[in-house]
Amino acid sequence: MKHINTWLRTLLCVVLTAVLLSAAAMPALAVGNSSTLATSGSRYVVTASGLNVRAGAGMQYSVVTVAVRGTQVTYISNLRGWWYVRLNNGTTGYVDKQYLTPVNATKTGNYTVTASILLMRSRPNTGSSRVGKLNRGTNVYVSDLNGDWGYVTYNGTSGWVALKYLSASSGTPKVATKVTAGSVYTVIANALNVRRAASAGSTRLDTIKNGTTVRVSQVTGNWAYVTYTKNGKVKQGWVSTNYLG
């Protein structure tokens, strides 16, 4: 009997060791109840109104700081289900992963609105004035990033939107329903020719890439006289309105 007990204890130790080694070797962890995997260096956004960042992996540790909703953090590692993260200001600590969601937009490009209604604001913060709104499913081009915000232009209106309500998309923004002088638009063609006169047969002055923001000062038929910046220089010319969104 003594030999059997010894054998059982040995077997139990081997099993526990194998389990612990497997857990330590796991390269990624699921975020909350989703299937999204966390890897070192991945970016996440806080969904709670205030998320405690603690000195250790547990509720018993002191709070280093509080990350408000919308704050972006960088995932570093995991310890007993608590995530060790770094904030933009360099502060590090442990947080409860259930209050984090992956950052969808990390670079400029085409995105689709996932919120039922997404407000466009004059500046990259919730306290600035509203300049427009976008419905779910709208395709937009993010031309600039500022923290948790992206700058978009849609149908002549430009503004900042919260990146957490955007999802990467292969779709392109719709052609503007009406191009008017004094408004700002985004080039939705892969490459848009800029011409000397409002005609496809006139001399080509330049080519503008997809996502470039232009300001229209004059409209003639299906042509618009635009001003834009390229390589640090302000340029002007005529473009087809069929490729402005």
Percent of the chain with pLDDT over 70: 78
Superfamily of domain 109-168: SH3 Domains (2.30.30.40)
DSSP category for residue 12: H
Residues 6 or more apart from 140 whose CB is under 8 A from it?
A: 110, 111, 112, 113, 134, 152, 153, 154, 161, 166, 173
Answer whether CATH 3.50.50.60 is correct for domain 184-243: no
DSSP category for residue 147: T
Rounded distance, CA 76 to CA 88, Å?
A: 13
Q: What angle do CA 230, 245, 105 make, to 5 degrees?
A: 75
Query: Which residues belong to CATH 2.30.30.40 in the chain?
Result: 28-102, 109-168, 184-243
Superfamily of domain 28-102: SH3 Domains (2.30.30.40)
The two tokens of residue 202 are 């006139």
pLDDT in tens, the chain (245 residues): 545 555 556 555 554 444 443 333 333 344 443 334 566 777 777 877 789 999 999 999 999 999 887 777 888 888 888 999 998 888 899 999 888 876 655 566 778 888 888 999 988 888 889 998 998 888 888 877 777 788 887 777 788 898 888 877 655 566 666 788 888 888 877 778 899 998 888 888 998 887 788 889 999 888 999 998 888 788 899 998 888 87
pLDDT tens-digit series, residues 186-202: 887 777 889 999 888 88
